[in-house]
Structure 1
Amino acid sequence: MTDATLLLDRARSGDESAFAALVGPHRRELQRHCYRILGSLADAEDATQDALLAAWRGIAGFAGHSSLRTWLYRIATRTSLRVAERRPVRVLSWDAHPARDPLGDLGAPDEATAWLDPWIAAVDDPAEAAVRRDTISLAFLAALQQLPPSQRAALILRDVLDFSAAETAEVLDATVASVNSALQRARASRSRANSPRATEDGGADAAQNAVAEGPSVEGPPLEAPDAAQQRAVDAFVAAFEAGDVAGIVRLLADDVRLTMPPLPAWFDGIADVTAFFAERSLVTPWRVRARAVVNGMPALIAEQFAEGAWRPGAIMALGFRGSEISWIASFLDPALLERAGSAS
């Protein structure tokens, strides 16, 4: 009898510690799955917790007809779908507002818009090592959010997690035919949609194509930036902390974008991004407290000097096209900054 079988028997008998040991290795991937469906870190955490509570209550009846992992995904998916039906679609900045003048009004934080949350991980987080970059990118997730929840789930299970049609049907309590139909509709829907131009490593267009055609199961993992990109990240940090606008600009693509939800303002093109850094952002000192990974992109946890003290300032994810930075995805929500502090 294997250790897993012993744990399962003990969990079925009401042993909470055995249940925790049994499901613990699956918790992070289940939370990531809920996040892909919901686009919200808080909702994903709640859905994961609710799913594991439901699993605990139902473990005595788990007959083993499927793997424990499939059974847990079944509960987590259905929990997430119930939440998704009650939630608005989560969006990126350019889906919610037009680009603004960097020297004009930046607007008050837009609390009415459901912003797509970033997936924040430590640079050396082993749980993220095997995750394919194309399945967690912000552009891919924003494209997923445009699908009805059931199609979203079918596509994630089949094309991201590589579940078979039969396994997906079991998770969704559907027929194989209906799963295949939902998957075809999901791909057709995304292939018809207008996609924003490429903005991050792999690009928004590539992400849209991944939804239309399915991400490659053999796609790249969340590996470290290549040597040229790593040099660019290091140079960006040095220039950012020194307030060196010219040093930053040398690293940017001509069509770079800078977003910063929950503020509605975002900037399109190197001229406007340059003006924002020169006239707004870098008029006060900044420092990088830690590095992280945000949706497969190298990211900085930055603090701003204000009112005589260093204060949480921004999570800045750097999206690359080749060796040039094509998207600076800044996140200013205080709750996310607090979360990033614990993840870094």
Structure 2
Amino acid sequence: MGEVLSGTPADPATARAEAADLARACGGDDAAFNRLVQPLRRELHAHCYRMLGSTHDADDALQDALLRAWRGLGRFEGRSSLRTWLYTVATRACLDIVAAHGRRALPVDLGPSSDRAVLDGAPLTDIAWLGPCPDAGLTDNRGPVARYEQREAIELAFVAALQHLSGNQRAALLLFEVLGFSAAEIAAMMDTSATSVNSALARARRVVAERVPARTQQQTLRLIGDTRVRELVTRYATALECGDADGLVALLTEDVTWSMPPLPHWYRGIEAVTDFAVQVPMTRCPSWRHLVISANGQPAVAFYLGDGAGAHLAWSITVLTLRGERIAELTSFLGPDHFTPFALPLSLP
């Protein structure tokens, strides 16, 4: 048989079961609808995150998209797979959010770096900040011409670059380069022409090429190897916990950057980054604990800050970008609200 409703090859029995569930769902059976969409939830959520740069916005977009799909299922005519139709609905839900709220930012987008530690900086709460994304369980249901691996397509540099595109350009690039839809399919999904899609793709590719390193983190991590990567991450977290400035410096590139949204200040260069590390986390914070995790397809650390009474409370998800066997970028997403999507505890004993 041809494509099943989810868009992946299947045996005839599976295809018949999905067709039966579709008929039941069109008749109002929400359990049948949930069975159809459950295998696609993770990849649809990842698509929404790439479009929006926030797991919380992605949650809202996916919920809205599935509600729209449920209410409009009677209009699904089967001319494409159900997967393609759900991507259409999800993309349009994301475009509505982009139109309403604009793009998300990192501190590097707002102004120049600081040469010295800023000790009295206040968070900017009126900025829509880029957020981290769990990458556990990512599936690969791309089409045959998709360019980016699923983990490459949630790396911080790539998602941050997408924020400099219009909504339509983001959608075109993701649907074509990440998910493998054709220009004609994307034109139908976005209710436009193939010429407009190709124009959006050309612009999007230029912007991404200017902002994303030629070597992805996935390529770097494969070269280093899992054991060595975990060793580097553990050494970084331990140096911070122990106040070991020399140990930290030994892990950094000369042009390393460190940013901490929602704080607007950020640091570039080993001297500025070391000054901040010594002045703030190593001096002004009573104690740290950490868990080594993964975020955005990259090594990351969940940091917990001591409260002075024995407990350690969720503080930041710090994503590391490596160049060779050194840390080239540190992006610390501050706030306990980032911990919930990772299924992390909000405190450690």
TM-score (norm 2): 0.84
Tell me how far apart the structure 2 counterparts of residues 159 and 326 of structure 1 sit (CA, whole Å). 26
**Other-structure match for 1:213:** none
CA distance 1:178–1:104, shift in 2 (3 Å): closer
CA distance 1:341–1:19, shift in 2 (3 Å): closer
**Other-structure match for 1:155:** 173
Count of matched residue pairs? 320
Tell me how far apart the structure 2 counterparts of residues 158 and 42 of structure 1 sit (CA, whole Å). 24
**Other-structure match for 1:200:** none
**Other-structure match for 1:6:** 20
CA distance 1:260–1:251, shift in 2 (3 Å): same
SS of aligned partner of 1:206:
coil
Structure 1 residue 106: Cα displacement: 4.6
Tell me how far apart the structure 2 counterparts of residues 315 and 243 of structure 1 sit (CA, whole Å). 19
Residues 65-84 of structure 1 mapped to structure 2, 5 A cutoff = 65-84=79-98
Query: What residue identity is the alignment partner of 2:307?
Result: A
Alpha-carbon contact 1:120-1:292 (below 8 Å) kept: no
Query: Does 1:205 pair with 2:210?
Result: no
Range that drifts further, 66-75 or 310-319: 310-319
Residues 204-223 of structure 1 mapped to structure 2, 5 A cutoff = 204-206=212-214
> Structure 2 regions of 5+ residues with no counterpart?
1-12, 142-148
**Other-structure match for 1:171:** 189
> Structure 1 regions of 5+ residues with no counterpart?
196-203, 211-218
TM-score (norm 1): 0.85
Query: What residue identity is the alignment partner of 1:311?
Result: L
Tell me how far apart the structure 1 counterparts of residues 261 and 87 of structure 2 sit (CA, whole Å). 31
Query: What residue identity is the alignment partner of 1:297?
Result: Q
Alpha-carbon contact 1:96-1:113 (below 8 Å) kept: no
Query: What residue identity is the alignment partner of 2:270?
Result: I
Structure 1 residue 129: Cα displacement: 7.4
Range that drifts further, 301-310 or 227-236: 227-236
Alpha-carbon contact 2:314-2:335 (below 8 Å) kept: no
Query: What residue identity is the alignment partner of 1:331?
Result: F
Tell me how far apart the structure 2 counterparts of residues 221 and 60 of structure 1 sit (CA, whole Å). 47
Structure 1 residue 22: Cα displacement: 0.5
CA distance 1:189–1:247, shift in 2 (3 Å): closer
- 1:126 maps to which of 126, 137, 140: 137
Q: Deviations along 1:309-332, whole A, 9 cap, x unmatched?
A: 311121111110011011111010
Alpha-carbon contact 2:234-2:292 (below 8 Å) kept: no
Residues 24-35 of structure 1 mapped to structure 2, 5 A cutoff = 24-35=38-49
CA distance 1:223–1:11, shift in 2 (3 Å): farther
Tell me how far apart the structure 1 counterparts of residues 65 and 220 of structure 2 sit (CA, whole Å). 27
Range that drifts further, 65-74 or 91-100: 91-100
Alpha-carbon contact 1:100-1:106 (below 8 Å) kept: no
SS of aligned partner of 2:253:
strand
**CA root-mean-square deviation:** 2.5
Query: Does 1:315 pair with 2:317?
Result: yes
Q: Deviations along 1:27-70, whole A, 9 cap, x unmatched?
A: 11111111111112222111110100011112233221100100
Range that drifts further, 303-312 or 61-70: 303-312
SS of aligned partner of 1:86:
helix
